[in-house]
Chain A
Amino acid sequence: MIPAAFEYHAPKTLRQAVATLRRYDGEARVLAGGMSLVPMMKLRLANLAAVVDLSKIDGLAFIDETANGLAIGPMTTHYAVESSDVVRRVAPILAETAALVGDVQVRNRGTIGGSVAHADPAADLPAALLALEATFIVAGGPRRRTIRADKMFVDAYTSALNEGEIIAEVRVPAMASGTGWSYQKLANRASRFAVVGIAALVATDEAGACTRARVAVTGAGPAPVRARATERYLVGKQLTPANIAKAAARATNGIEFLGDVHGSPEYREHLTAELTKRALTEASERMG
């Protein structure tokens, strides 16, 4: 399969990349790792006048430790994230989730910025980034702006990025010490996308009462979301199997479940509750 003809641009700066995108007025797309865009072009689901490759821009692939967490460049690959000692220490759920994306070859090229901007409803990283309450610094508008993770994923393949905007940085708050974490997914056997994936972070006080729970669901509906009802139910309660089961049952609240060849809406609903239970259980066992 060969894509339709397009013009290829590999600008040297983010500013040039934004200017090139603008010039094509919606007919050009950003090429990061290409793990989603190239297949879409080959299938001619995306027919573009031009592609703007970010790989020749210096300084877009980095992982820096900041005062309160991590700053990650948009062109940082999943492999770089999964193998980073800093990520494993500061936000281990992100390293663990990145290690479950696709396969070795996909993780070698796929990028964190590309995954977020593409907004595939079954992508893994958005779940972890939602649970971590990450923020995205976006270039391309009149001035740089910040988008919160819970505002970023609008609909299937639709992010909150405007035409011509590019993610310049991903900011990830550090996981507070003692936080337990888990990412659980049922992977599509061919693509390894999540049929459903659940990211969970939990913390308790000295008496064992839950002080914070953050749970995010991907793959289930048109966009990844926080399971707020699950979180609200858990706070203040002991993380007993019974409480976890009741909280997990609430993870399905408000989700419009997708049905496709990989699973019916009913199956995804079942998976959402079951995987939330497993994620909360593992997270509660991993609190330090």
Chain B
Amino acid sequence: MKINVTINGETRTDDVEPRTLLVHYIREMRGLTGTHIGCDTSQCGACTVLVDGLAVKSCTMFAVQADDATIQTIEGVATDEALHPVQEAFWLEHGLQCGYCTPGMVITLMQVLERNPNPTEADVRRGIAGNLCRCTGYQNIVASAMRAAETMRGETR
């Protein structure tokens, strides 16, 4: 089936089988391997991308369902000049250890902070309920989210 998908501003038409998962399309056909496959059972959130502005687990969606969609992956988050505030906060707060869950964490937190610019730590933890960090580095991930929220509100430390 022909699908037309815009990823990080680049639109392409590709031929996919209906059973091709979106995550495989993104990684293998579009060559964007920043989107990770962790559990492949819809639980770990490493494959999270924004589809038409909504955080989704791309292992739990068929590529054909993304026909005509606009997708943002981790590769499209920073500009040439600057990291996204969430990425910057992960850097400053040591929000990653092995880094495997990080792309999904960053994308999910972008959504969480867009919807709630002034979250409590509990809000952040609820927000990343669908993202697992097997280094168990949650303390610093939450600290990163809180710092990113401050930056995005225009506050400085």
Contact = CB atoms under 8 A, between A and B. Distances in A.
B88 interface: no
A103 interface: yes
Contacts of A67: none
Given A8-B64, A38-B62, A105 B18 contact: no
B55 interface: yes
A270 interface: no
B130 A104 contact: yes
Nearest to A38: B60
Contacts of A7: 18
Interface string B11-30: 00000011111001000000
A103 B64 contact: no
B108 interface: yes
Contacts of A53: 64-65
Contacts of B18: 5-8, 51
Contacts of A51: 18
Interface stretch (B38-46, B78-86, B90-98): B38-46
B32 interface: no
B19 A2 contact: yes
A2 B115 CA distance: 33
Interface residues on B, range: 20 to 34
A77 to B, nearest CB: 8
Contacts of A6: 18-19
30 contacts: A1-B40, A2-B19, A3-B19, A5-B17, A5-B19, A6-B19, A8-B62, A34-B61, A34-B65, A35-B42, A38-B42, A38-B61, A39-B41, A41-B19, A42-B21, A43-B41, A53-B64, A53-B65, A79-B54, A83-B115, A102-B130, A103-B45, A103-B129, A103-B131, A104-B129, A105-B108, A106-B57, A108-B111, A109-B54, A192-B129
Shortest 7 CB-CB distances between A and B: which pairs? A103-B130, A8-B18, A108-B54, A103-B129, A3-B19, A105-B57, A38-B60
Interface of A: 1-8, 10, 31, 34-35, 38-39, 41-43, 51, 53, 55, 79, 83, 102-106, 108-109, 190-192
